[in-house]
Amino acid sequence: MLLIKVKDHIPCVDFVILKTNHNKLMNYKNVIKEFFGKERIFLDQRKSLIVLLGSFADFDSFEYSQQLSAQSNWLAKHSVDLILIGIGSEKSKESFCKFNKIDINNVIAVKNADLHEKLNLNAGLVTQMPAIINLLIMCTGINSRGTIKEVLRGYFGDKNAGSLFTFDEDINLGPFSLFKGSMFDIFSKKQNLRPFELATRRLMNMIEILSNWNTYVPDSAFLTQRGATILLNEKDEVLYEFISESLLGYASKMSAPLSFLDDILN
């Protein structure tokens, strides 16, 4: 089994490239195939990028899927099948795919976190309090290392990340189109992530989620569930794996969440 280590490490963001004895026994593809039974999930002799999302209402799920959507043609060019698995209903999935511009054929909805448990993923903060309270606690950085740093990055910008909005792109806050991407030129005309740019994207995502809460959250019990990213080659060997441990920590390198693909496929 080949394991690729991530070169760049961001301090305070908890992540692992697993090399434990448990993981040597873990066959991700078989566990997922067994979970879904007769439903065909994988194509033979193809690389698979498996992204286990938490809830479809999770900020991470929205943000990561938007990154993946932008690279869908590049993934197809390199013969990588994208498979996203999120917690929610079929209606949740439809709204999620429409808003984030993800091909609905690449997304699978599960009603609970049973598959995540079978894969030993992190459930996030779990207490006797309601899950929404646990999630809000994680937003403060408790039991969620690196979250505050990532929130601040959204406000201060990141010279190592690319910009999110084009010059003429409308910025829609709910039903209102109040600004264009050009407003971020106040801070910089370079193509890096500018101050407030990521925070604005996250605000747009939050408005969409809260405005359609009952659609995205048929069951609030799984709001804190974290996800994982697994890249398998044609022989089902693990080329890359990342297990999320925190809110807003869905990648080992948050300034370039999909940079591991460049390292492996190019």
Q: Encode pLDDT of 94-151 as tens digits.
A: 999 999 999 999 999 999 999 999 999 999 999 999 999 999 999 999 999 999 999 9
Domains of the chain: residue spans and CATH: 21-265 (3.40.30.10)
pLDDT (tens digit per residue) in 190-227: 889 999 999 999 999 999 999 999 999 999 999 999 99
Kindly report the average pLDDT of the chain as a whole number. 89
Q: What angle do CA 146, 242, 222 make, to 5 degrees?
A: 70
Amino acid, single-letter form, for residue 149? K
Measured CA to CA in angstroms, residue 223 lies from 53, 55, 113, 213, 240 at distances of 11, 6, 10, 12, 26
Confidence of residue 10 (pLDDT cuts 50, 70, 90): very low
Distance CA 209, CA 135 (A): 14
Q: Nearest Cα to 188, choosing from 161, 152, 148?
A: 161
N- to C-terminal Cα separation, the chain: 19
Contact status, residue 65 vs residue 205, Cβ threshold 8 Å: no
Q: Nearest Cα to 84, choosing from 49, 58, 114, 116?
A: 49
Q: Nearest Cα to 86, choosing from 193, 208, 185, 228?
A: 228
Q: Which H/E stretch holds residue 59?
A: helix 59-70
Amino acid, single-letter form, for residue 32? I
pTM, two decimal places: 0.87
DSSP one-letter string for 82-132:
EEEEEES-HHHHHHHHHHHT--GGGEEEESSSHHHHHTT-------SS-HH
Q: Are strands 107-110 and 47-55 parallel, antiparallel or unpaired?
A: unpaired
Count CA atoms within 13 Å of residue 191 on its CB side: 1
The values of phi and psi at residue 92, to 5°, are -60, -45
Confidence of residue 260 (pLDDT cuts 50, 70, 90): very high
Q: What is the largest CA-CA distance in the chain?
A: 54
Confidence of residue 54 (pLDDT cuts 50, 70, 90): very high
Q: What angle do CA 165, 168, 171 make, to 5 degrees?
A: 55
